[in-house]
Structure 1
């Protein structure tokens, strides 16, 4: 009876701390959003790693960078940067869904370029071509991840666009 507060996880009169307020504010949607953004961040770093090594090899050889590989590295950088920003709890998912659609479009274009070059290519033991064939599927994965978050952000926006707010004058009164 004396230790009953332990089963509830809090004591009466306990002040809210970072740990208790995060738990109370985490919804299934928040967990989904953070998980998707984490995957987008990791996959963006993978894209950078796969394509930037060819840019580095060209730089060391004294050859100018190929624009297709520079574009793919840009896509990975864009995806990693914005997924990291959007992973924070202060950013609303629905507000930046156009950025998600733009990232989806960037990866779609990169997949189109590299898919045309490498999907039907026979590697014949060439490890560089095998790596690029795998990189094409990483681009597809990124494309799907960004499409999912763009659609999710759009659904959240359309669901809550007619909600009551202080700014519309239709807010509920606090008694």
Structure 2
């Protein structure tokens, strides 16, 4: 932006005092640290369980606790089924007891992939059943990639809610 050959910055610098543009908080202008000497703090080490119960209350838990069994949860979350041994495949829940289906977005939101992780067992049969289910829901062909070694399936497109619904119906 130029007004009669002068830029906006040059006009402002002439009108506003230079003290406002000076930053005294730079690295070079900060004062040197002074040695404050030896600091001693009085503290006491205790192994009394009565004292430690207050400390343990504020420490984070090491593992996520098992959810309380209910018929219906207010959030709509459903726990994993108990009788899944007869299934040819298994989709393991995450450590937070959630279904491991994720949306991967790339190229500024243009490319979307749905990823189903932690698949154990016959991953090819799971991919075939998911593809048949998704084919009913979509108009075009369903492209997928199976990584048997890493235990995940990647579908081209945004099918997160549909796959989570299907897995919940199968009690995974």
What range is the shorter-chain TM-score in?
under 0.3
**TM-score between both structures, scaled by the size of structure 2:** 0.19
**Which has more helix, going by share of residues?**
1
**Which has more strand, going by share of residues?**
2
**TM-score between both structures, scaled by the size of structure 1:** 0.19
Bigger Rg over Cα: 2
Higher RCO (CA-CA < 8 Å; seq separation 6+): 1
